[in-house]
Each structure stands twice: as structure tokens, then as C-alpha cells.
Amino acid sequence: MFRALFIKHWVQLRTVRWVGFGLGVLLPFFLWTGASAAKRGWLPIPITDYSPTTLFGEALPMLSVLMWWGLSVLFAAETFAGDRGSGTERFLLERPVPRGRVWRARVSATFGSIVLVVLGHSVYLFGLFAIVDDNTFAGGHSRILTACAVGLGLALLGTIGGMAAGEMLRTPIQAVMAGAVLALLPIGIATLLAAVFQLAMFGDGGHLAAVLAPILPVAMFVMSYRGGCLGVPDGRG
């Protein structure tokens, strides 16, 4: 039964995955076009000069990281609130299937989708950078690898935020908006704690915010589990 549920949600996310892959493929061309237009003064962006290495080795990874974060929220919101928005969740949960199994299938499909997209985009980014820079393996690849690591971290936050919002709200659109806020909340809280309580240090220069900030994603993950496995199956948690 888990396999059938996983396939159902995996197929449900198929369109969003293809859109994500398409955006990743087209993003370098949009970036190149935008930089060329800004250089000619067609856009209000102060760009006087650029190179393919700068675009594909610095600007493109940062934009890709933001795109991965947005896609992760979208994947989670669609998986956890999609059935509720279409009116099929109550029918599904009335079947003789443990609710925990439904929740685990949704989690697996969501994480599998975002990891697949991130890995595919990362290979694409590395290939582009290898084409425009002959010294890729001399150190340039480290920027791509760093972007992938940061992107996976933000995608994890986005997924957890979307999962929590998807269990509380009735439609995917609402879950996407609330999930984006929840996904940014740990970063905002950590930044606020580090700025206000600058002397809250421990060990070899570590800040207390680095310990407290991870508590919130864990709490949201637990909230998603309790809402999906123990709560009322109509979006009220």
C-alpha cells in the first residue's frame, strides 16, 4: 500500500517537477539576456560589464538556490494540501489505510522530488561552468558545490515549512504562502538572536543561535506528523 500511495503522490508532483526542470534549464538564458539588456541600459540595473564565468559561476548558483527553495515549498504544499484542496483527502483517509503510512508516502514523494531536481540542476550548472571556464577543476567547482550544499539546506527548510503549512491549511495556494513564511522563520530568528544577543557565545566562538534555530524546523516537522497522523483530516490539525 505504501508503494501505491508513493506512486500516487509522485505522479501528482510530475507536472511541478517538469516545470522545475524547465526553469532550471532556461534560467541561464534568462540571466544572460537580462545581463545583456542591463549592459545596454534597457533595465534599471547597474551592470557595465560581465563575463560568462561571473554569470554562470557566481550569479547563476545564487539564483538556482532561491529557485530550489521556492520549488521545495511548492512540492510540499502540493503534496500535503493537494488532496484536501481537490476534496479527495477525506475519502482517502476513510479507507482502511493507516494515516501514518499516508504521511510517510507524502514525505518520501516530496523529498524525493526536490532532491531529484536539485541534483539535476547541479549537474547542469557544473556542465555549463565547465564549458565557459577551462579552470573549473582548479577551484571554480567549489562555488558550485557550495551552492548545492546551501541549496539543499534551504530546500530542506522549504520542504519542512511547506509540510507544516500543508497540514494546517485547506488549499495548496494558502499552504505555499504560509510555508514560505515558516521556511524563512528559522533563518530570521537565528539572525535576530545573533544581532541582539551578540555576547551569547559558547565554545570556540559558537553562538547560541546556532543551537536554538534548528529547534524550530524540528518542531514544524513534528507538527506535520501530528497533524497528518493524529489530527482531524480536514486541514484543522
User: What's the angle, vertex CA 177, arms to CA 237 and CA 64, rounded to 5?
Assistant: 125
State mean pLDDT over 143-148. 76
State mean pLDDT over 188-203. 72
pLDDT of residue 72: 93
Find the DSSP H helices in 94-233: 99-132, 141-168, 172-196, 209-212, 215-229
Q: Kindly tell me if the per-residue pLDDT of 116 is higher than 70.
A: yes
With CA atoms as reference, report the closest residue to 110 among 221, 185, 26, 184.
221
Name the pLDDT band for 235 (thresholds 50, 70, 90). Answer: very low
- 89-108: pLDDT as tens digits: 777 767 777 778 888 889 99
Q: Kindly tell me if the per-residue pLDDT of 134 is higher than 50.
A: yes
> How many angstroms separate the Cα of 87 from the Cα of each of 42, 73, 90, 92, 169?
47, 21, 7, 10, 13
How high does pLDDT run on average in the chain?
Answer: 79
In the block, cell 550544499 appears at: 149
- 19-41: pLDDT as tens digits: 999 988 888 888 777 777 766 66
Query: What residues contact residue 83 under an 8 Å CB cut-off, 6+ apart?
Result: 89, 92
d(CA 189, CA 161): 14
d(CA 71, CA 67): 6
Pairing type for strands 201-202 and 206-207 reads: antiparallel
Q: Kindly tell me if the per-residue pLDDT of 229 is higher than 90.
A: no
d(CA 106, CA 101): 9
Global confidence as pTM = 0.82
Contact status, residue 78 vs residue 13, Cβ threshold 8 Å: yes
Residue type, 118: V
With CA atoms as reference, report the closest residue to 94 among 237, 200, 224, 233.
233
Q: What percentage of the chain reaches a pLDDT higher than 90?
A: 12
pLDDT of residue 166: 87
State mean pLDDT over 213-237. 74
DSSP calls for 160-189: HHHHHHHHH-SSHHHHHHHHHHHHHHHHHH
pLDDT of residue 203: 63
With CA atoms as reference, report the closest residue to 188 among 177, 196, 199.
196
